[in-house]
Amino acid sequence: PPYYLSIKWPGDTSPVFSQTAVFVPYGRQNLASYLSVVAEATSPDYGRLRVLRMSDTQQIAGPSQTANAMTTDPQFATLMRSYLNQGSANAKYGNLLTLPVGGGLLYVMPIYVMREAGSGSYPALQFVAVRFGDHVGIAATLQEALDQVFAGNAGASTGEGGNGTTTPPPTQPTQPTQPGGTTAPNQTAAVESMKKAQAAFTAADTALRNGDLAEYQKQVEIAKTELGDALAKMGVK
């Protein structure tokens, strides 16, 4: 399904609020193209359709293949085992979002947990899973998951602790990662944007718990914008 996201296309100077979708040919699972329509009403490019075609010589995993790669990753399976097996809580997978980053595609999937006890249970954000190239990360926050995938270079300082289950640094990335010339000020700014995104996601959960759908949608959009800003500050083209 299409999603509204703030994305930064290759060659763009800043993220643009857009309606996005991926195209997988009928009867196949490989991704053929990534589409977006500029949805920012004040933009002179409002309504502009752009298509990012995948390589004709290399098979690119589609959403279903990516979701399968995430859920079968050993670290993912270990963290989710207690929720997927019988217990007092059930895991619910959120929408798998696709973002063009660094000449490749970054996939982000929120994972919610719903307690079985009580009639007023609601899904609460528990983990965020990401995939870039062949590398999968899963952590309590988006920032920590990105650090796992990018070997600690996602804009966060190395002193920030995760949940103790980090993945080994990729020895030979299959997709371009961020440039080595990213400056410390930009990294600090990226961390701040990621923190704002996390705060917005937390506020969205609170709004959803209170039944305020308008505020929930507002906070989700703020989080998406902050995530796009963070990627831009990381120097990702």
Which tens digits make up the pLDDT trace of 51-98? Answer: 888 877 778 888 899 898 998 888 888 888 777 665 656 788 899 998
Stated length of the chain = 237
Separation CA 134–CA 58 (nearest Å):
14
Which tens digits make up the pLDDT trace of 16-40? Answer: 899 989 888 888 888 888 888 999 8
List, edge to edge, every strand of the sheet that includes 49-53: 3-7, 16-23, 33-38, 49-53
DSSP, residue by residue, 148-216: HHTTT-SSS-TT---SS-PPPPPSS-SS----TT--HHHHHHHHHHHHHHHHHHHHHHHHHHTT-HHHH
The pTM of the whole model exceeds 0.75: no
